[in-house]
Structure 1
Amino acid sequence: MTEDLLTQSAYHSESSSHLDGGAGLQKQGEANQVSAYCKELLMRGGREFSFEEMRAERFNQRQQQQLDEKLRLLKETMDHLSQELEDKKRLLQIRDSAEPPAASFLQIYDESQSAAARPAGNSETSHKDLLVESCTANVSQNPGSKTRDKLSPIQETSVGANSGLCSPLQEDQEEMEDQKVYEAQEVQEEMEVEEDQVPSSAVDPCDPDVRRRLLDQCDVTSSPDLRSESRPLPAVEERSCLQLGGDVIHIFSRVLEGPGFSVFKGATEDGYVVLKVDGSSVPWDFHQSLRLKKNSSTADSLPLISCFLFLDGCITVYTSPPGHMFTELTECVASDSVGYKVVGLLQLVSRLQSCRLLHAALRPHILTCSHRGFLIPDSVFPVDWSSSLDLDLRRDVTSVQQVPSAQTYISLGLLEPTAPPQLVDLVGLAETVHLLLTNSKMVPVKEGGVWRAEQFSGGEPCDVFSRMWRSFFCSLLNVGGRSSLSVLSELKDQLSTLYY
């Protein structure tokens, strides 16, 4: 019995020690659990979050911070580009009102031709569009967005634990992302409005694409004198032969070289020809020449016009009427023959303005005379229309400020920005006549509020011819509110009275 008592006592001791050890382990586990499990962090608003949800929350917060930083940088970039756009618009307005004078009017003509080949796009605007698209794409790809295109393993666990239901944290995040998308769309709409407000002068009216769209309205390709050939533009050289439309043209010499084109003179069995070889496949010169001929009361003295369209260019051919021959305007210029050439020039500009054509670059080297005798040119016509406008097709052009070649005249103060566009050809006419009379460039000067040609200014006594030329330049450079056609008619009557 004593042994039984001892055995029971030992058993109870051992059991007690085991129980005490288990309690110690339990207390130690509880202590470890307290240190790794903080209810203050996991309990929010009476809702308990798992460790996976907490990890997903921290992941989403880091992603949101990165997205906010990207959006901040994007906003700074768009603000910078918007400021650049405003600066560009101000520069365009300044350029339209005050462009620095060029070294010579011939340089201005060449610059206006090279400007026609520049693209009309806006690189700053395109870059901003790409940034907005990038912003929208980043927002849509965010892990907390409604689409959930790509989720991390932690997020997938969190979403699976909620059985497809969004936690309050995710709902708040989705609302923030929706707001970001809405703001990005608003920025894009504002930029589109700014693009619409860019002045029309920013688009070059002489751009080939603009002209191609204009010619689509009048269906110039239906003319029987316009022929298409499915081959590249042929090479044209001096002292060579060229076959066009069944005719053989003997090329004599090159009379003019311009940006993207050349003008040659030659002959066929039917008479003399002048042909312009153009690197553009838009038959603009043919259209303008045809318009001038159709609206002229003396069309019989103007050349016959045909055009050949190739895959990469076109050739416009001017053929002399029966009994006529072609000479350059500056050829055989004597003091007693200048008046006759000027009458032909006045007739040309009157024809242009009667049919609402604006040549915008009248210079002696692009003008050819068609005549029967050497002293009386029946007509003067241009062989290059690169800077010209058809005001019937471009009814939005209502002032010289919208004409690229007029910017130097505006910067000099010779023309007001709001003056009618037709005045550009009157100043070009004055320059051309001045060069024929003096073989020098016209220098406009202002005396007592009146513009004059420097070599024909002053009030000293002079002969009847000098007085007439003094009045001639004064009338062309000071039209004021008068009709340009009436000014041209008066000058033509004065010259006819003096020379005929």
Structure 2
Amino acid sequence: MQATIGVGLHCEGVANQWSPYCKEELMSGGEELSFEELRAERYNQNKQKEIEEKMRHLVEQKEQLSQELEKKRLLLLKKSQEVSDSNPPPAAAPFKILDESQCGSEESAGISEPSSNEVPDDVFLCPGEKGLCVKVQLPPRPGESRQRTQLTGQPGPTSEDIRTEQDSDPGAVCQKTVSKPKKELSPIQETSMEAGSLTSLGELSAVDPCDLEVHRQLLKLCDITSSQDLHSEQRPLPAVEEDSLLDLGGDIFFIHTRYLDRGSFSIFKGFKATAENECFYMKVDSCSVPWDFHLFNRLKKDSPSADRIPQISCFLFVDGCITIYTPPADHLFTDLADSNPDELCVGIKAISLLQLVLQLHSCSLLHAGLQPSILASCHRGLQDWLFPVDWSSSLDLVLQKDLTSVQQLLSAQTYISLGLLQPTDPPYTVDLVGVAETVYFLLTNDKMIPVKDGRGWTVEQYSGDGPCDIFTRTWRRFFRSLLNAGIGSSTSVLSELKDELSSLYL
């Protein structure tokens, strides 16, 4: 007699049989799912609910903050109106909209310090559908009335976006609103800091520290134009395609393959036709600011192993630039993403990555965009040195001293929304998460999924606490250390992990 398959079913003379499939799913004619698949589905649903709950909480916090700011604004506005009502001013002179060239200087505006019975200047910030609304209250000159100016523009205006200057007419105020790329710290933030206004993290749309114009202004503080490896070409950016030749500075470059394409830039691989077996990486960028060139030279200058770091040259064109990396003598280039998935090989690559980030942080550089696709290996025998071929998201904290937290970095916003990073964490922590993501990909060929347990953050595949070999225990400590660094020293975390992996894999 043939037994019916099922969980907990008994047939006379036949031993109990267990099915790995869900009986209800089979009987209902649905898709056959094993209990492990159903458990994974429930886990994913719970994780999705957890993420949605976090996002809902963030939205509620933002709304609450907006309501508090609006209440404070209305309270201050009410006090201002009470003062005005107690001393009715004469009719206000009309505003004039003048061209910037017709406006007087700020020194000639003649704005006097407010007396004790006057309302001081305030800047009120409130979120709007089309941007931030700024109300500036100007103190009256003797015999003149207080006038209010309201300007509404896009978030994060530049220093040229909002100006209030006085014309020859005593009651006239010159206003100008222009839409231009962000160049400096928003004057809204500058004024609010000076006036002691209430602001909060995320309430103002700050200038992106990786903005093209920010980089352009910062490079004016550096003497990179004197470098013999920076070449100026007074012509448009040449077309660069696979299987083609390119003449740059007297050298003929054979473009073999397009390694990476990110829209605003592409990275190619090939070799010099004028030098036997000399390979290169070439970044072709639509941006004419040599930011990559500056940061790579900073790294090389401050590195104790400069002889192992590739050489770099940059060609500036009127509408872009080409950055070329070539290896030292007898060194070869390989792609990090194409490395052997063997755990020993991954361990050695992880040590090289830790050494790279340790060196970056030691000389106050922040990459803020670490991932396997933009990392290459320069090696000779067992000597291995990793380097980035793209620095678009990177920061020079010697020049950008105002960057003090990950909240100011666009590349950290996803980590912050997940709760993996706190807004007040040091900016260096974004690179620690980048190291974790990169090494996890090398180990598993999959995207890292962070999970949280009673001891903090870790990664899904190494979240268990059961018995395991020394390699698994090492990787468990590796990911926990990187993802729970908090306000601790990044160089200490990186050094300890580098020593631990070196004792195991070298």
TM range (shorter): 0.5 to 0.7
Runs of 4+ with deviation above 3 angstroms: 67-71, 82-85, 88-92, 119-123, 184-188, 191-195, 198-201
Match of 2:214 among 203, 210, 214: 210
User: C-alpha displacement at 1:187, in angstroms?
Assistant: 13
Structure 2 residue matching 1:416: 3-state secondary structure: coil
Q: Hey, what does 1:476 align to over in structure 2?
A: 482
Q: Hey, what does 2:412 align to over in structure 1?
A: 406
Match of 1:366 among 374, 377, 383: 374
Q: Hey, what does 1:196 align to over in structure 2?
A: 191
Q: Hey, what does 1:437 align to over in structure 2?
A: 443
Q: Residues 187 and 405 from structure 1, CA distance in 2 versus in 1: closer, same or farther, beyond 3 angstroms? A: closer
Q: Report the AA paired with residue 127 of structure 2.
A: D
Q: Hey, what does 1:497 align to over in structure 2?
A: 503
Alignment of 1:338 with 2:343, yes or no, is no
Q: Hey, what does 1:149 align to over in structure 2?
A: none
User: C-alpha displacement at 1:91, in angstroms?
Assistant: 8.5
User: C-alpha displacement at 1:251, in angstroms?
Assistant: 0.7
User: C-alpha displacement at 1:229, in angstroms?
Assistant: 1.1
In 2, Cα distance between equivalents of 1:274 and 1:186: 50
Q: Report the AA paired with residue 484 of structure 2.
A: N
Larger gyration radius, structure 1 or structure 2: 1
Deviations 1:201-233 (A, max 9, x none): 611111111111111101111111101111111
> Identical aligned pairs, as a percentage?
55
User: Is the contact made by 2:420 and 2:483 (CA closer than 8 Å) also made in structure 1?
Assistant: yes
User: Is the contact made by 2:255 and 2:268 (CA closer than 8 Å) also made in structure 1?
Assistant: yes
User: C-alpha displacement at 1:259, in angstroms?
Assistant: 3.1
Q: Hey, what does 2:285 align to over in structure 1?
A: 278
Q: Hey, what does 2:355 align to over in structure 1?
A: 347
Q: Report the AA paired with residue 364 of structure 1.
A: P
Deviations 1:64-99 (A, max 9, x none): xxx99988xxxxxxxxxx99962059999xxxxxxx
Q: Hey, what does 2:243 align to over in structure 1?
A: 239
Q: Residues 400 and 89 from structure 1, CA distance in 2 versus in 1: closer, same or farther, beyond 3 angstroms? A: farther
Q: Report the AA paired with residue 337 of structure 1.
A: C
User: Is the contact made by 2:123 and 2:191 (CA closer than 8 Å) also made in structure 1?
Assistant: no
RMSD value over aligned CA atoms?
3.3
In 2, Cα distance between equivalents of 1:450 and 1:194: 35
Q: Residues 212 and 89 from structure 1, CA distance in 2 versus in 1: closer, same or farther, beyond 3 angstroms? A: farther
Structure 1 runs not aligned, ≥5 long:
1-66, 72-81, 93-118, 141-177
Q: Hey, what does 1:221 align to over in structure 2?
A: 225
Please state which structure has a larger fraction of its residues in helix.
Answer: 1
Structure 2 residue matching 1:378: 3-state secondary structure: strand
Q: Residues 88 and 328 from structure 1, CA distance in 2 versus in 1: closer, same or farther, beyond 3 angstroms? A: farther
Q: Hey, what does 1:51 align to over in structure 2?
A: none
Deviations 1:114-160 (A, max 9, x none): xxxxx98639x95x86xx89xx99x96xxxxxxxxxxxxxxxxxxxx
Structure 1 residue matching 2:378: 3-state secondary structure: strand
Deviations 1:48-79 (A, max 9, x none): xxxxxxxxxxxxxxxxxxx99988xxxxxxxx
Q: Report the AA paired with residue 379 of structure 1.
A: W
Structure 2 residue matching 1:409: 3-state secondary structure: helix
User: C-alpha displacement at 1:197, in angstroms?
Assistant: 2.4
Q: Report the AA paired with residue 424 of structure 2.
A: T
Q: Residues 317 and 460 from structure 1, CA distance in 2 versus in 1: closer, same or farther, beyond 3 angstroms? A: same
User: C-alpha displacement at 1:193, in angstroms?
Assistant: 6.4
User: C-alpha displacement at 1:332, in angstroms?
Assistant: 3.2
Q: Report the AA paired with residue 323 of structure 1.
A: D
Higher RCO by CA contacts (8 Å cutoff, separation 6 or greater): 1
Aligned residues: 348
TM-score where L is the length of structure 1: 0.64
User: Is the contact made by 2:156 and 2:205 (CA closer than 8 Å) also made in structure 1?
Assistant: no
Q: Hey, what does 2:335 align to over in structure 1?
A: 328
In 2, Cα distance between equivalents of 1:422 and 1:343: 18
User: C-alpha displacement at 1:464, in angstroms?
Assistant: 1.2
In 1, Cα distance between equivalents of 2:280 and 2:129: 46
